[in-house]
Amino acid sequence: MKLRIANGGIVVGRAVFAAATIEVVDGRIAGLDPAISGSPDIDLDGGWLVPGFVDTQVNGGGGVLFNDDISVDGIAAIGAAHARFGTTAFLPTLISDTPEHVAAALDAADAAIAAGVPGVVGVHIEGPFINPAKRGIHEADRIRQLDPAMVELLSRPRAGRVVLTIAPERASLAHVQTLVSHGVIVCAGHTNATYDEVQSAVGAGLSGFTHLFNAMSPLTHRAPGAAGAALDAPGCWCGLIVDNAHLHPATVRIAIRAKGPDRIMLVTDAMPSVGTDATSFMLQGKRIEVHHGVCTYEDGTLAGSDLDMATAFRNTVQITGLAPAEVVRMSSEAPAAFLGLSATHGTLAPGRRADWVVLDRELRARGTWIGGRQIAEGAVGNSRRD
């Protein structure tokens, strides 16, 4: 199959083409020519075609919370909701829960990959091995220590990537080393760790920071904390929730300048409301209200987000003034690299998966392709966000 695209910007690595012909064979890009012959199959009309978004933190979507529906069908519903907003690879994310639910989440992600659910590339276990002092909306009675039994469970071979968020100060360096040696991608989050404690965990193999600045010890001039350690660790990736609620715009700009776009990942931390018109949902017995794209508990605690990746992309362009081709590095390339998937995801190039999203002039999703097949028409005009 060959698709001819024209009349906009097509982001191919560090280049932007005005037109291109993409040849797709068996779901991968077999050829990419910066020209077309004849009328385009996809008329961008001044918009953009960019690599599909890679989201490493997706709690829910389409009315489904992963914690409440730990199943292939649940993952498929979440993926379908986010595909409308350009997400072509994602990790369903389990918020702090019981060991039994952690095991079920790992197995469900394996089963979803085996079943061919579009977009799912693994699972993110966010807690329960976190610090109660920085638990945010996570339930206190779910929090526990990382013990040998859980290390063994998390270290088993899996079909996709396993990302684990821990508070480094509550886990032994030996456990971190064991997990990393078995392919688990360990991140710091919901942590009150000191700079030195985080640096020690980085030395043991920790490579990411979950929603930088949120629910972690802050950067101050004499105590850099977990946030300062994240900014000072050149080999680590940092997730940012760019929803104009979790972070001040200046904080977004500072983080990107400090880390560079190759080590920043846009994430949604999305809740079930994404892709729906719901104004509330239940989270482990708490009613969460959704107003103007922000999810909060009655005491004002932020509870994930109502953010989708197309909106995160658009917000980042607006906040930073960076060109869309630069922001692609944070929405697609960096998260793919973090997951060790650069050979297949994150960029448009021969040999990579034929995953992309078409954005209109306002950077709203018009359509999403996974494996060269259009699986969603986008959410323009079909969501309260528009």
User: Domains in the chain: how many in total?
Assistant: 2
Claim to verify: residue 230 and residue 358 sit in the same structural domain: no
State the CATH number of the domain containing residue 32.
2.30.40.10
- Does residue 309 lie in a domain region? yes
Distances 135 to 83, 108, 127, 140, 240 between C-alpha atoms, Å: 29, 25, 9, 7, 18
Residues 110 and 159 sit within 8 Å (Cβ to Cβ) = yes
pLDDT at residue 292, as a whole number:
86
What is the C-alpha R_g of the chain? 20
Claim to verify: residue 40 and residue 65 sit in the same structural domain: no
- Does residue 343 lie in a domain region? no
- Does residue 344 lie in a domain region? no
pLDDT at residue 383, as a whole number:
40
Claim to verify: residue 187 and residue 325 sit in the same structural domain: yes
Strands 356-359 and 48-51: antiparallel
- Does residue 329 lie in a domain region? yes
**Rounded distance, CA 88 to CA 80, Å?**
10
Give the pLDDT means over successive 10-residue stretches in the chain (386 positions): 96 96 97 93 96 98 97 98 98 97 98 98 97 92 96 98 98 98 98 98 98 97 98 98 97 98 98 95 92 91 95 98 97 98 97 98 97 82 40
Claim to verify: residue 119 and residue 242 sit in the same structural domain: yes
pLDDT at residue 136, as a whole number:
82
pLDDT at residue 378, as a whole number:
66
Claim to verify: residue 12 and residue 160 sit in the same structural domain: no
- Does residue 229 lie in a domain region? yes
**Structural domain that includes position 12:** 2-49+350-376
- Paired residues of 49 in beta bridges: 10, 358
Claim to verify: residue 123 and residue 7 sit in the same structural domain: no
pLDDT at residue 260, as a whole number:
97
Q: Is 269 a catalytic residue?
A: yes
Claim to verify: residue 240 and residue 316 sit in the same structural domain: yes
DSSP H helical segments within 68-194, as ranges? 72-83, 99-114, 148-154, 173-181
State the CATH number of the domain containing residue 70.
3.20.20.140
pLDDT at residue 376, as a whole number:
87
- Does residue 385 lie in a domain region? no
The one catalytic residue in 69, 97, 269, 355 is 269
